[in-house]
């Protein structure tokens, strides 16, 4: 029976100071027992002699320094996991939302253990999401972490749901699961996902963790870790290919800032703590594949960029850790290009090893580079056109400008229900490139030009 | 020595009491798990320790034992082809011992204690040797001859030296100093990582490190023994630039430090390097490479140590007279680790929360680069290229600024170029190399006398392009003189066909200096011919749509041996076609 302390000295925001403790260790999980029998979970943030500084995972309502008791459980935060979790909904701390109980097969430390870089398997299996702007230009592979950078009011939820619904590896029957973590989003948005999963029959292979906007902010600190722990279990113990979707990381980062501010730490940019990079990295890096295991974790975090600013610390630090990013653009959305993926600043770092002969098609890399270059030139021409008028453009620049328009309409704007195969995506690409003179397509090898140029449509 | 007792635990920082016997920067073993840490601050008998492993579960009352020596690297045969974490623990051995995930408290020596190496003595009994002299050799990998040197600070007469098969700890040589003090030398030596290894003399850097990357070798070259930096926002291709340098730089040894970066990037190197052959030695790249991987999810304090571990290994090979390249990706993560520890020590912060000593530490690191006369009598060089990841791509932040004050080569990456998929996204207007003048004689002797003038013409065209584009934005293309329009077209050719280089194309990934020269010559010859044709009334569109013009853009994909011939072919084809156009123009006039 662990010892109970009645020595709460101070409660400030999410932090509680307990004095006179002994045998307590760093990062240990604790419980604060209120007089009315309520339990609140917490963990040790710092231990200094006989003083323990603990951080609550729930709000501090009802804690009384006189009557509340604290006990430490002798282990770090753990999650009981089992295959029965599939198809169920949990709260942000991993407690079942509905009336059922999970009999854990195993208990796992939610903080995870870093993978040995030597033991990682390089991600190179192409995942077909059915979205051309992703498959063709910013290809997703199994074990990748590819965030969606969005802004308030942009349709990232629709895109994330579309990916969850359509993602598949061509010609494979591997076991597949989705772990979805809602971090501080509204009921409506969370419900959109639940309904979408139910409607498409994806629910039975999905585990949902839901921390809504009106749940305590501090609970959000644990939600992504709990989701990833479940994913690790399904992937590396049960051999499933797990797609983890987490939305919205911005809310997580704000909770992190709240704790840091309560501890009066020296802030880095915009008040976020200096260790935010490390904290986010410890989370994102849990995606991947391991040698000798069948499963994989592919991670798609969604974050809303405050003021659509890509240099804000949250998207910025995320971009430095993840293997690329899919960026949504407000101006495309206004033009009714759906999904409004801005392909130029978007990037998948792992695409090069996931495409080409035997994976997608031999001409994929070449056409991809050419589409990027041509679209970029087309956009420049359009800018010039806006200033000087169409007459000031050369014949070639006019072609490029037209190409850019068609590219957005045909290639990017496919709606949320079109599921294109990679062949279809590549062929649309060729149809668009054939609008340009052959001599302009310098990034494509002659043999592919001979084979595909001008052959489509 | 008395043991200490843990008083406080706060993340990677542990404070212990009863440490009166310990020195600053001594290594300590913390708690029953024997986690490795380093003392970074002392108040009376209280020592602040940065612990290199996860500290969950540690609490007051546990023991802290001092090792009585600073953090040191093990240097000897077995380094090549290894992958280490930030404090030189071999990750492959740890995988064998502890499985796929990094559990803490696993203790494995950096160099394999059981493996035997064939040692060939180069000195004889009775000879006098001093520090840094080579006493024998071990053929460590196909590409690397590992020279066994007398450790720094040791000298004497060889009493006994023997060849044969030895492990790294076996005694292979005994020395006797004049006063009679004896030293037993083994294949391995240790050196504290935070201290630079001694050498005889520093030399000015005037030989380029050839990288096969056209924008670097031609426009902004780095010297052997020089220091350079690659800052850029995410997605601008920092890591690809670093990987390309690791692959193609003409160095004998490459030390690659993945400091706080992605795990998969290290896996990529591990998978790829054993497959690629070094064009110089014909051996695989792994046979000249040492990796230090402290990925972003590994403990933060070890990240701080990783760059010192890496540079100590690099200096060791430099001392053998080799040309070593050290790539650090990314120094910003290292600086962040410094900031995190500084914050936990409750130090007064400088800019953006970084400690006030950031600039000093960075300078101390980069200053360990250089071309030197080693004690072994040969010339060694240590080149450092550090990547910087400025927040939001804003290079006014403290890490970039402190770095720029030290380094001589700046390859500024540009996200605009990256969006256009122009790689390497090195901005030709912002970047610079301060070694150009020093290396000019080398280029002119070893490539061609025209090299420098060609380079200058390239730079001038690119400069003029930027100015002309401003004008085009205001008044449109039609308002430009014909010669200016040609300049724009030529600058575009330079950008798209010369500076753009595809790291994933088998031929384009590496371009020798000879081929670079041919390419420059071809483009400038074309320019001169076109300029002449325009003067004689030929239209620009006509020139740009010439058939031979397209071949100019494709020469980069040809193998080097075919380039000389192709150059002649294209030039004569251009001549014929242009003559025809000129004649037509004359007729029409």
> For residue A225, what is the enclosing H or E element?
helix A223-232
Q: Which phi-psi region, left, alpha or beta, contains residue A57 (left: φ > 0; alpha: ψ -120 to 50)?
A: alpha
Q: Using CA atoms, how far apart are residues A293 and B148, in angstroms rounded to an integer?
A: 42
Q: Could you tell me which residues come within 8 angstroms of residue A79 by beta carbon, excluding any fewer than 6 positions away?
A: A94, A107, A108, A110, A226, A229, A230
**Per-residue confidence (pLDDT) for residue B353, from 0 to 100:** 85
Angle at A384 between CA A378 and CA A385, to 5 degrees: 85
Q: Is the sign of the CA dihedral B386, B240, B297, B288 positive or negative?
A: negative
The answer, for B56 touching chain A at a CB cutoff of 8 Å, is yes
Contacts of B352 in chain A (CB under 8 A): 268-269
Q: Using CA atoms, how far apart are residues B69 and B76, in angstroms rounded to an integer?
A: 19
* Preferred mutation among B421, B465, B482 to probe A, highest tally of A CBs within 10 A: B421
Contacts of B555 in chain A (CB under 8 A): none
Q: Are strands A106-109 and A78-81 parallel, antiparallel or unpaired?
A: antiparallel
**Per-residue confidence (pLDDT) for residue A346, from 0 to 100:** 94
Q: Using CA atoms, how far apart are residues B375 and B219, in angstroms rounded to an integer?
A: 34
Contacts of B545 in chain A (CB under 8 A): 439
* Cα–Cα distances in angstroms (integers) from residue B576 to residues A64, B149, B500, B517, B579, in the given order: 94, 63, 29, 24, 5
**Per-residue confidence (pLDDT) for residue A456, from 0 to 100:** 58
Contacts of B258 in chain A (CB under 8 A): 117
User: Percentage of chain B with pLDDT > 90?
Assistant: 76
φ, ψ of residue B99 in degrees (nearest 5): 90, -165
**Per-residue confidence (pLDDT) for residue B479, from 0 to 100:** 84
Name the residue facing B100 among A27, A269, A290 (closest C-beta): A290
> Residue A1 — pLDDT band, cuts 50, 70, 90?
low
Contacts of B418 in chain A (CB under 8 A): 347
Q: Using CA atoms, how far apart are residues A335 and A326, in angstroms rounded to an integer?
A: 18
Name the residue facing A321 among B262, B270, B340 (closest C-beta): B262
How does the average pLDDT of chain B come out, rounded? 93
Contact B7, B50 (CB under 8 A): no
Environment class of A412 (CB within 10 Å of its CB; exposed 0-12, middle 13-18, buried 19+): buried
Does the pLDDT of residue B111 top 90, yes or no? yes
**Per-residue confidence (pLDDT) for residue B105, from 0 to 100:** 85
Contacts of B270 in chain A (CB under 8 A): 117-118
Angle at A111 between CA A110 and CA A117, to 5 degrees: 125
> Which DSSP string do the residues of B463-513 spell out, in sequence order?
HHHHHHHHHHHHH-GGGS-HHHHHHHHHHHHIIIIII---TTSTTTT---H
Q: Using CA atoms, how far apart are residues B353 and B349, in angstroms rounded to an integer?
A: 5
For residue B503, give the chain A residue with the closest CA: A352
- The answer to whether the CB atoms of B234 and A320 lie below 8 A apart is yes
Using CB atoms and an 8 Å cut-off, which of residues 439-498 of chain B contact chain A? 472-473, 475-478, 496-497
> For residue B52, what is the enclosing H or E element?
none
Name the residue facing B57 among A27, A316, A319 (closest C-beta): A27
Q: Using CA atoms, how far apart are residues A80 and A78, in angstroms rounded to an integer?
A: 7
- The answer to whether the CB atoms of A76 and B60 lie below 8 A apart is no
> Residue B1 — pLDDT band, cuts 50, 70, 90?
low
Beta bridge partners of B192: B72
Q: Using CA atoms, how far apart are residues B259 and B538, in angstroms rounded to an integer?
A: 56
Q: Using CA atoms, how far apart are residues B358 and B339, in angstroms rounded to an integer?
A: 9
Does the pLDDT of residue B589 top 80, yes or no? no
**pLDDT tens digits for B542-554?**
898 888 888 898 8
C-beta atoms surrounding A218 within 10 Å: 23
Mean of the pLDDT values across residues B557-565?
A: 92
Contacts of B55 in chain A (CB under 8 A): 26-27
Q: Can you tell me whether residue A99 is helix, strand or coil?
A: coil
Q: What is the pTM of this model?
A: 0.93
Name the residue facing A269 among B267, B352, B475 (closest C-beta): B352
A vs B, Cβ pairs < 8 A, gives 214
* Preferred mutation among A43, A116, A391 to probe B, highest tally of B CBs within 10 A: A116
Mean of the pLDDT values across residues B70-85?
A: 95
Q: Using CA atoms, how far apart are residues A446 and A426, in angstroms rounded to an integer?
A: 17
C-beta atoms surrounding B356 within 10 Å: 12
For residue A137, give the chain B residue with the closest CA: B421
For residue B232, give the chain A residue with the closest CA: A320
How big is chain A, counted in residues?
Answer: 457
Does the pLDDT of residue B117 top 70, yes or no? yes
For residue B301, give the chain A residue with the closest CA: A278
> For residue A201, what is the enclosing H or E element?
none
- For residue A216, give how far its alpha carbon lies from the nearest alpha carbon of chain B (Å): 24
ipTM of the complex: 0.89
Does the pLDDT of residue A58 top 90, yes or no? no
**Per-residue confidence (pLDDT) for residue B2, from 0 to 100:** 72
> Residue B136 — pLDDT band, cuts 50, 70, 90?
very high
Contacts of B233 in chain A (CB under 8 A): 311, 316, 319
- For residue A79, give how far its alpha carbon lies from the nearest alpha carbon of chain B (Å): 16
Contact A354, A365 (CB under 8 A): no
Mean of the pLDDT values across residues A135-148?
A: 95
- For residue B556, give how far its alpha carbon lies from the nearest alpha carbon of chain A (Å): 11
Does the pLDDT of residue A457 top 60, yes or no? no
Mean of the pLDDT values across residues A120-124?
A: 93
How does the average pLDDT of chain A come out, rounded? 92
User: Percentage of chain B with pLDDT > 70?
Assistant: 100
* Cα–Cα distances in angstroms (integers) from residue A206 to residues A92, A107, A294, A405, in the given order: 15, 20, 19, 38
The answer, for B559 touching chain A at a CB cutoff of 8 Å, is no
Torsion angle, CA of B515/B516/B517/B519, rounded to 10 degrees? 90
> For residue B231, what is the enclosing H or E element?
strand B227-231
The answer, for B340 touching chain A at a CB cutoff of 8 Å, is yes
Using CB atoms and an 8 Å cut-off, which of residues 359-388 of chain B contact chain A? none
**pLDDT tens digits for B5-18?**
999 999 899 999 99
Contacts of B266 in chain A (CB under 8 A): 117, 120
**pLDDT tens digits for A435-448?**
999 888 988 988 99
Mean of the pLDDT values across residues A351-370?
A: 92
- The answer to whether the CB atoms of A274 and B339 lie below 8 A apart is yes
User: What is the longest distance spanned by two Cα atoms in chain B?
Assistant: 101
> Residue A328 — pLDDT band, cuts 50, 70, 90?
very high
**Per-residue confidence (pLDDT) for residue A270, from 0 to 100:** 87
């Amino acid at each position: 029976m662990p010892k109970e302390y009645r020595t709460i000295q101070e409660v400030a925001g999410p932090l509680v100071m307990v004095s006179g403790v002994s045998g307590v260790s760093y990062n240990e999980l604790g419980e604060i027992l209120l007089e009315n029998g309520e339990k609140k979970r917490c963990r040790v943030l710092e231990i200094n002699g006989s003083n323990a500084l603990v951080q609550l995972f729930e709000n501090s309502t009802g804690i009384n320094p006189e009557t509340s008791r604290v006990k430490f459980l002798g282990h770090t935060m753990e999650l009981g996991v089992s295959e029965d979790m599939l198809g169920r909904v949990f709260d942000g701390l991993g407690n079942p939302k509905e009336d059922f109980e999970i009999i854990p097969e195993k208990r796992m430390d939610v903080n995870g253990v870093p993978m040995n870089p030597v033991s990682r398997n390089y991600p190179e299996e192409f995942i077909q999401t059915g979205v051309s702007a992703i498959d063709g230009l910013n290809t997703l592979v199994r074990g990748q972490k590819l965030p969606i950078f969005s802004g308030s009011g942009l349709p990232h939820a629709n895109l994330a749901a579309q990916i969850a619904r359509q993602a598949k590896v061509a010609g494979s029957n591997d076991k597949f699961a989705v772990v979805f973590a809602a971090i501080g989003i509204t009921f409506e948005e969370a419900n959109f996902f639940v309904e979408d999963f139910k409607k498409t029959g994806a629910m039975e292979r999905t585990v949902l963790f839901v921390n809504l906007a009106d749940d305590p902010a501090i609970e959000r600190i644990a939600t992504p870790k709990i989701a990833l722990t479940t994913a690790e279990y399904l992937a590396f113990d049960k051999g499933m290919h797990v797609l983890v979707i987490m939305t919205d990381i911005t809310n997580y980062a704000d909770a992190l800032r709240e704790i840091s501010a309560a501890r009066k730490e020296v802030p880095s940019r915009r008040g976020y703590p200096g260790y935010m990079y490390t904290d986010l990295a410890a989370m994102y890096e849990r995606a991947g594949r391991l040698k000798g295991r069948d499963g994989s974790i592919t991670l798609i975090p969604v974050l809303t960029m405050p003021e659509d600013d890509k240099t804000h610390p949250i998207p910025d630090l995320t971009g430095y850790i993840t293997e690329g990013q899919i960026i949504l653009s407000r101006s495309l959305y206004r033009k009714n290009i759906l999904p409004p993926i801005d392909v130029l600043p978007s990037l998948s770092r792992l695409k090069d090893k996931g495409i080409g002969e035997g994976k997608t098609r031999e001409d994929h890399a070449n056409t991809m580079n050419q589409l990027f270059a041509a679209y970029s030139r087309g956009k420049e021409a359009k800018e010039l056109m806006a200033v000087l008028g169409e007459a000031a453009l050369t014949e070639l620049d006019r072609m490029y400008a037209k190409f850019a328009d068609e590219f957005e309409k045909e290639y990017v704007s496919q709606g949320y229900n079109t599921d294109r195969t990679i062949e279809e995506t590549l062929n649309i690409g060729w149809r668009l490139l054939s609008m340009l003179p052959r001599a302009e397509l310098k990034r494509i090898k002659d043999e592919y030009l001979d084979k595909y140029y001008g052959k489509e449509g | 020595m008395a043991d200490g007792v843990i008083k406080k635990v706060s993340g990677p920082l542990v404070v212990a009491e009863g440490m009166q016997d310990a020195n600053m920067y001594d290594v300590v073993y913390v708690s029953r798990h024997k986690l490795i840490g380093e003392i970074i601050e002392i108040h009376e008998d209280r020592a602040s320790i940065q612990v290199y492993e996860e500290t969950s579960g540690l609490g007051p009352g546990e023991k802290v034992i001092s090792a009585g020596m600073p953090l040191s690297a093990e240097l000897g045969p077995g380094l090549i082809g290894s992958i280490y974490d930030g404090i030189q623990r071999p990750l492959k051995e740890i995988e064998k011992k502890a499985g796929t995930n990094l559990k803490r408290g696993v203790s494995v020596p950096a160099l394999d204690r059981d493996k035997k190496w064939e040692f060939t003595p180069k000195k004889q009994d009775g000879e006098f040797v001093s520090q840094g002299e080579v006493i024998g050799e071990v053929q460590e990998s196909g590409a690397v001859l590992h020279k066994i040197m007398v450790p720094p600070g040791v000298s004497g007469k060889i009493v006994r030296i023997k060849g044969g098969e030895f492990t790294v700890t076996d005694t292979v040589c005994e020395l006797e100093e004049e006063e009679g003090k004896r030293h037993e030398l083994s294949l391995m030596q240790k050196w504290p990582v935070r201290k630079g290894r001694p050498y005889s003399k520093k030399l000015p850097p005037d030989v380029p490190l050839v990288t096969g990357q056209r924008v670097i070798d031609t426009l902004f070259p780095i010297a052997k023994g020089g220091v350079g930096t690659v800052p850029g926002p995410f997605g601008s291709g920092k890591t690809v630039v670093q990987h390309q340098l690791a692959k193609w730089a003409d160095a004998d040894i490459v030390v690659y430090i993945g400091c706080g970066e992605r795990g998969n990037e290290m896996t990529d190197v591990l998978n790829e390097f054993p497959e690629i052959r070094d064009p110089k030695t014909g051996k695989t790249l792994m046979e000249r490479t040492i990796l230090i991987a402290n990925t972003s999810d590994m403990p933060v304090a070890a990240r701080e140590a990783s760059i010192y571990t890496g540079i100590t290994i690099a200096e060791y090979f430099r001392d053998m007279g080799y040309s070593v390249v050290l790539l650090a990706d990314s120094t910003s993560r290292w600086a962040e680790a410094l900031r995190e520890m500084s914050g936990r020590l409750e130090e007064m912060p400088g800019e953006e929360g970084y400690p006030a000593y950031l600039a000093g530490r960075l300078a101390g690191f980069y200053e360990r680069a250089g071309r030197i006369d080693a004690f072994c009598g040969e010339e060694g060089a240590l080149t450092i290229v550090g990547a910087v990841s400025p927040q939001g791509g804003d290079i006014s932040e403290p890490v970039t600024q402190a770095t720029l004050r030290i380094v001589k080569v700046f390859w500024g990456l540009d996200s605009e170029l990256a969006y256009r998929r122009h790689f390497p996204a090195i901005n030709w207007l912002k970047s610079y190399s301060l070694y150009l003048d020093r290396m000019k004689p080398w280029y002119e002797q070893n490539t061609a006398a025209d090299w420098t003038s060609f380079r200058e013409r390239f730079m001038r065209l690119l400069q003029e392009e930027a100015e002309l584009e401003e004008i085009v934005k205001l008044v449109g293309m039609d308002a430009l003189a014909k010669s200016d329009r040609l300049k724009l077209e030529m600058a575009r050719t330079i950008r798209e066909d010369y500076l753009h280089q595809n790291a994933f194309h088998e031929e384009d990934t590496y371009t020798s200096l000879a081929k670079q020269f041919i390419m420059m010559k071809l483009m400038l010859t074309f320019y001169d011919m076109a300029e002449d044709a325009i003067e004689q009334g030929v239209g620009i569109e006509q020139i740009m749509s010439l058939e031979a013009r397209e071949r100019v853009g494709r020469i980069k994909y040809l193998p080097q041996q075919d380039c000389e011939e192709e150059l002649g072919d294209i030039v004569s084809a251009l001549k014929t076609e242009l003559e025809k156009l000129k004649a037509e123009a004359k007729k029409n006039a």
